[in-house]
């Protein structure tokens, strides 16, 4: 069975919900505490054993490329000033040369189109997709949990969690079949249904392990919800062709594409940190 070695990071979105912060800066570079969202996603992928990181970028996203490269000037300055700890935090997570690939989505046509742009870089093997907006705080990184279960179930796996019924129109929603609490058989999928049309309140969260067959469907470039080429729509024809599961991951997920979700992530991640937790707790108390 093929191993999951490659991951796609769609980072071509406009980030309109975070303007003006995202006017000249990609939304994926917004920091939670002191680390950009995209770095959390990359670290999660690497902790899951991913070897090839494929970024689907867009206009004005060069800071992402710079972030995953050496900064000779900065490193040199830190070195001459003897700031070894800071230097180590810059270097320890830098992907080895050749492990990162970039391709550009020339127009923001949707998540499905972004994934399709990486088809030749992925080739004919299973791959992961990580959406940096979905930040997950967990003991075992979410993608690692999915990759650990993959040999048992194979096929396609999407991270899943229950959301309030009123929020179904923000997500891809599963029509669940057999359900053992952790793994849910996927019978159907619908992108952003209205609450009264949703088959359940079990939502797709931005972690996927997919078979390359999805590219055959993305090739058709059919527009779906919101006039965009949706990834969800190309997953539907895979159901029944091979196993397809939703995976209820362990951990807390923050919607960092939303202002309040992003704010909550700052609090949760600061409280979690050994160096900041006690002081952060004092601050939170003052406001409650
Ligand atoms: C995307 C997917 C959606 C999924 C969501 C998870 O939507 O299209 O199916 O539920 O991510 O965050 P977006 O948030 O890009 O609108």
Kindly state whether residues 143 and 221 are assigned to the same domain.
Answer: yes
Kindly state whether residues 45 and 72 are assigned to the same domain.
Answer: yes
> For residue 257, which atom of ligand 1 is closest to its CA?
14
Within a domain: residue 55? yes
Whether ligand 1 lies within 6 angstroms of the CB of 111 is answered as yes
Within a domain: residue 125? yes
| pLDDT number for residue 24 | 86
For the chain, give the number of residues.
288
Kindly state whether residues 271 and 159 are assigned to the same domain.
Answer: no
Whether ligand 1 lies within 6 angstroms of the CB of 204 is answered as yes
251, 144 Cβ separation under 8 angstroms = no
Kindly state whether residues 149 and 276 are assigned to the same domain.
Answer: no
Bond into 92 cis (ω within 30) = no
Residue with tokens 């050749």: 98
How many structural domains compose the chain?
2
Within a domain: residue 150? yes
Determine the structural domain holding residue 276 and report its residue range: 258-288
> For residue 205, which atom of ligand 1 is closest to its CA?
6
Q: Which of 129, 142, 170 to mutate to test the pocket of ligand 1 (most atoms within 8 A of CB)?
A: 170
Q: Count of CB atoms within 10 A of residue 2's CB? A: 11
Helices (H), 92-237: 111-117, 119-122, 142-153, 214-218, 231-235
Within a domain: residue 28? yes
> For residue 171, which atom of ligand 1 is closest to its CA?
10
184: three-class secondary structure by DSSP: strand
| pLDDT number for residue 89 | 85
How close is the Cα of 163 to the center of ligand 1, in Å? 13
| pLDDT number for residue 92 | 83
Kindly state whether residues 189 and 285 are assigned to the same domain.
Answer: no
| pLDDT number for residue 44 | 97
Q: CATH number, domain at 168? A: 3.90.550.10
Q: Which of 14, 16, 171 to mutate to test the pocket of ligand 1 (most atoms within 8 A of CB)?
A: 171
Within a domain: residue 245? yes
Within a domain: residue 1? no
| pLDDT number for residue 13 | 81
Kindly state whether residues 168 and 274 are assigned to the same domain.
Answer: no
Within a domain: residue 72? yes
| pLDDT number for residue 62 | 85
| pLDDT number for residue 197 | 96
Q: Which of 13, 172, 202 to mutate to test the pocket of ligand 1 (most atoms within 8 A of CB)?
A: 172
Whose Cα sits closest to atom 7 in ligand 1?
A: 171
Kindly state whether residues 144 and 271 are assigned to the same domain.
Answer: no
Within a domain: residue 147? yes
Report the predicted TM-score, pTM, of the whole model to 2 decimal places.
Answer: 0.96
Kindly state whether residues 225 and 274 are assigned to the same domain.
Answer: no
Kindly state whether residues 233 and 125 are assigned to the same domain.
Answer: yes
How close is the Cα of 97 to the center of ligand 1, in Å? 31
- Cα angle for residues 118, 251, 211 (degrees, 5° grid): 30
**CA–CA distance, 27 with 13 (Å, rounded to integer):** 8
Q: Which of 18, 204, 230, 232 to mutate to test the pocket of ligand 1 (most atoms within 8 A of CB)?
A: 204
220, 114 Cβ separation under 8 angstroms = no
One digit per residue, pLDDT tens: the chain, 288 residues? 689 999 999 998 888 899 998 888 899 999 999 999 999 999 999 999 999 999 999 877 789 999 998 888 999 999 999 999 989 888 888 888 899 999 999 888 999 999 999 999 999 999 999 999 999 999 999 999 999 999 999 999 999 999 999 999 999 999 999 999 999 999 999 999 999 999 999 999 999 999 999 999 999 988 999 899 999 999 999 999 999 999 999 999 999 999 999 999 999 999 999 999 999 999 999 998
139, 274 Cβ separation under 8 angstroms = no
How close is the Cα of 230 to the center of ligand 1, in Å? 9
Whether ligand 1 lies within 6 angstroms of the CB of 172 is answered as yes
| pLDDT number for residue 108 | 87
Kindly state whether residues 270 and 169 are assigned to the same domain.
Answer: no
Kindly state whether residues 211 and 277 are assigned to the same domain.
Answer: no
**CA–CA distance, 174 with 186 (Å, rounded to integer):** 6
> For residue 232, which atom of ligand 1 is closest to its CA?
9
Q: Is 179 left (phi over 0), alpha (psi -120 to 50) or beta?
A: beta
Kindly state whether residues 188 and 284 are assigned to the same domain.
Answer: no
């Amino acid at each position: 069975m093929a191993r999951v070695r490659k991951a796609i990071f769609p980072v071509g979105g406009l980030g309109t919900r975070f303007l003006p912060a995202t006017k000249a800066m990609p939304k994926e570079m917004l920091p939670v505490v002191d680390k950009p969202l995209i770095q959390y996603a990359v670290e999660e992928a690497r902790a899951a054993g991913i070897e090839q990181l494929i970024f689907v970028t867009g206009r004005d996203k060069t800071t992402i490329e710079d972030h995953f490269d050496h900064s000779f000037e900065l490193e040199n300055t830190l070195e001459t000033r003897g700031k070894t700890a800071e230097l180590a935090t810059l270097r320890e997570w830098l992907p080895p040369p050749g492990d990162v690939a970039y391709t550009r989505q020339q127009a923001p046509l949707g998540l499905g189109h972004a994934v399709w742009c990486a088809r030749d870089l992925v080739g004919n093997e299973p791959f992961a997709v990580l959406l940096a907006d979905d930040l997950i705080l967990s003991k075992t990184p979410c993608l690692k949990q999915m990759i650990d279960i993959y040999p048992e179930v194979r096929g396609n796996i999407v991270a899943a969690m229950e959301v309030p019924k009123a929020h179904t129109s923000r997500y891809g929603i599963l029509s669940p079949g057999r359900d053992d609490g952790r793994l849910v058989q996927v019978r159907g999928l619908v992108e952003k249904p209205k609450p009264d049309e949703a088959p359940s309140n079990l939502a797709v969260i931005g972690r996927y392990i997919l078979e390359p067959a999805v590219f055959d469907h993305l090739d058709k470039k059919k527009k779906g919800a919101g006039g965009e080429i949706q990834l969800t729509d190309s997953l539907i024809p895979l159901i029944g062709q091979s196993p397809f599961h939703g995976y209820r991951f362990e951990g807390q997920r923050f919607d960092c594409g939303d202002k309040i979700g992003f704010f909550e992530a700052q609090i949760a991640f600061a409280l979690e940190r050994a160096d900041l937790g006690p002081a952060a707790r004092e601050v939170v108390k003052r406001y409650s």
